[in-house]
Structure 1
Amino acid sequence: MLSLLKKLFSKGDEPVITHLPEEENATFELKVDKIKIGILHCEHGEWQFKYTDEFKQHKDEYNRIIGFPDLDKVYKDVTLWPFFQTRIPGLKQPEVREIIEKEKINVENEAALLKRFGKKTISNPYELDLV
């Protein structure tokens, strides 16, 4: 029984390699308690994250996001950071596969997956809204 559950909810033995397509352009707001914590943006094959001025005003009330210690830095990377990757569920889950097939989502496009599945996660209280 346990092995069946592991198979259903695992991210897979042969992981799908996701990437950010060069032509993809999207902006997300990361929020908690109605406070805009930061902006995640992608374009030209690169991810960017920065904290908002609103969060900087509340910096003593909330922890900084793991992997993003500097309030004033614009973080840039071609790889989506683990904090955001965890919002994408295991692609082998039957319900997830059904949604992907029904909505014709490209499973290799991490921005498309984040748009569809990234709003909430059980791993933290933050919400990620597409703007």
Structure 2
Amino acid sequence: MLEFTNKFKFSIFKSLFSKGEEDVESYLPNNETASFVLTVDNIEVGILKCHSGEWSFKYSPSFKDKISEYRKIIGFSDLEKVYQSNSLWPFFRTRIPGLKQPAIKEIIERENINKENELELLKRFGKKTITNPYILIIQDT
């Protein structure tokens, strides 16, 4: 029975997150900029930005002051570093749901969202996730 359960869980995960004919590779457009505040328990954890086709993340001073009460985010171990990447880190990427889901497809079509644009997808779907308690709020740019 356990083997069936694990296979079943894997097939659900695979169907939601694997690359299929409905999924596309996403990218961050070079000409778009945005800034997000990541919070937990009403404390600003850090700032996620995109600019010129690159993502950056940096912890905020208010989070550094409370580090004894909270854990650092997996993949972001240095409180002083400005992290940079041309692709969205898994911690943030998990906030974008599988594009094969019928409800997500409907939202993308109805709101005319470019499903290849990583920034558009994060803006629309990234505020909350069931995988962690953090909230991602877009700032006015």
The answer on whether the counterparts of 1:29 and 1:37 sit within 8 Å (CA) in structure 2 is: yes
SS of equivalent to 2:50 = strand
Runs of 4+ in 1 over 4 A off after TM superposition: 4-8
With the length of structure 1 as denominator, give the TM-score of the two structures: 0.92
Cα–Cα, structure 1 residues 6 and 67, in superposed 2: closer, same or farther, change >3 Å?
closer
Q: TM-score, normalised by structure 2?
A: 0.86
Identify the match of residue 116 of structure 1 among 104, 124, 131. 124
1:38 is paired with a residue whose SS is strand
Larger Rg belongs to: 2
Identify if the C-alpha distance between structure 1 residues 56 and 90 changes in structure 2 by more than 3 Å, giving closer, same or farther.
Answer: same
Residues of 2 paired with 1:11 and 1:99: CA distance?
20
Percent identity of equivalent pairs: 56
The within-5 A match list for 1:1-131 is 9-14=16-21, 15-131=23-139
Give the drift of 1:82: 0.4
CA separation in 2, counterparts of 1:114 and 1:6?
20
Q: Give the C-alpha shift of residue 9 in structure 1.
A: 3.5
Secondary structure at the aligned position of 2:123 is classed as: helix
Query: Cα RMSD between the aligned structures?
Result: 2.0
Measure how far apart 1:24 and its partner are: 1.2
**Contact 1:35–1:54 (8 Å) recurs in 2:** yes
> Partners in 2 of 1:46 and 1:65 — Cα distance?
20
For residues 68 and 122 of structure 2, what CA distance do their matches in structure 1 show?
Answer: 29
Structure 2 gap ranges (5+): 1-7
Structure 2 vs 1, CA of residues 88 and 20 (structure 1 numbering), >3 Å: closer, same or farther? Answer: same
The number of residues matched between the two structures is: 131
